[in-house]
Amino acid sequence: MASSNKRVFLDGITTGNPVLVSLLGLCPALAISTSIDNAIGMTIALVVVLLLSNVTISLMRKIIPSDIRIPIEIIVVATFVSCVDMLMHAFMPSLYSSLGIFIPLIVVNCIILGRAEAFAIKESVGRSALDGLGTALGYGLSLFLISFIRELLATQSITLSNPFNNAQSVTLHLIESAKISFFGDASGAFVVLGLIIATTIAIREHKANKAAKLLAEKKKVEAEKAAQAALINKANQEGSEVKC
């Protein structure tokens, strides 16, 4: 059971990553991934909404009529998105302004509705919470990677700010060569995303080929052992017949 729960959690980060594998939620991922601050803010919002909506829908799964379950799921998600939107507006105004319309648009994010419909409506509260947390963290890690590459190449540095008062906390100058402003534009976002997806596919194929090769070698060794065992048995039988 523990290994099954671990798989549920890790699936959203690795094999079922919503951005790099399922290619879901790409619009906000490309639009706001100009800085790590934006990535962190969107990740926090998505973790809260996805975790709470998955848990709530799982709790209600036995009383939700099947013919109106999708409208109910949207209402649940919209409730938590509204709460996150107002809290960020009140306590993180600079981050709220930076993310803009993409906070309210979490309501129609296909990742959240997809996990609610495909998982939370069928599974227990604990497993739904793990699924929501893993999927949100998988989305956040992808967003962080895209933002890191884009911000670094476009500005030569990485800046982290305090989201509560917009005070700059630290700036790391990591590149001394010329800035590549292209990566700060929408077209640069597509290029970075494409390169990251290509890399992940190459890594998955390499692992799959390695596993297939190991399996083939294992089968070959087992076949050789079986053949040797058959020869030994045959030799023993022939020896017994000669003695007789």
136-182 pLDDT per residue, tens: 999 999 999 999 999 998 988 888 887 777 666 777 787 777 788 88
Residue 17 has pLDDT above 80, yes or no: yes
Determine the pLDDT at residue 123: 92
Phi, psi for residue 83 in degrees, rounded to 5:
-65, -45
Phi, psi for residue 185 in degrees, rounded to 5:
-95, 170
CB-facing half-sphere around the CA of 68: CA atoms within 13 A: 7
Determine the pLDDT at residue 168: 64
More confident residue, 175 or 106: 106
Please report which helix (H) or strand (E) contains residue 157, including its range. Answer: strand 157-161
Beta-strand relationship, 168-173 and 157-161: antiparallel
Residue 235 has pLDDT above 90, yes or no: no
Determine the pLDDT at residue 244: 55
More confident residue, 242 or 15: 15
CB 166 within 8 A of CB 37: no
Question: What per-residue string of b and e applies to 118-146 under the rule 16 or more CB within 10 Å gives b?
Answer: ebbbebeeebbbbbbbbbbbbbbbbbbbb
Instruction: Supply the mean pLDDT for the chain.
Output: 88
CB 163 within 8 A of CB 94: yes
- Which residues, listed in sequence order, are joined to residue 171 by a DSSP beta bridge? 159
82-98 pLDDT per residue, tens: 999 999 998 888 888 88
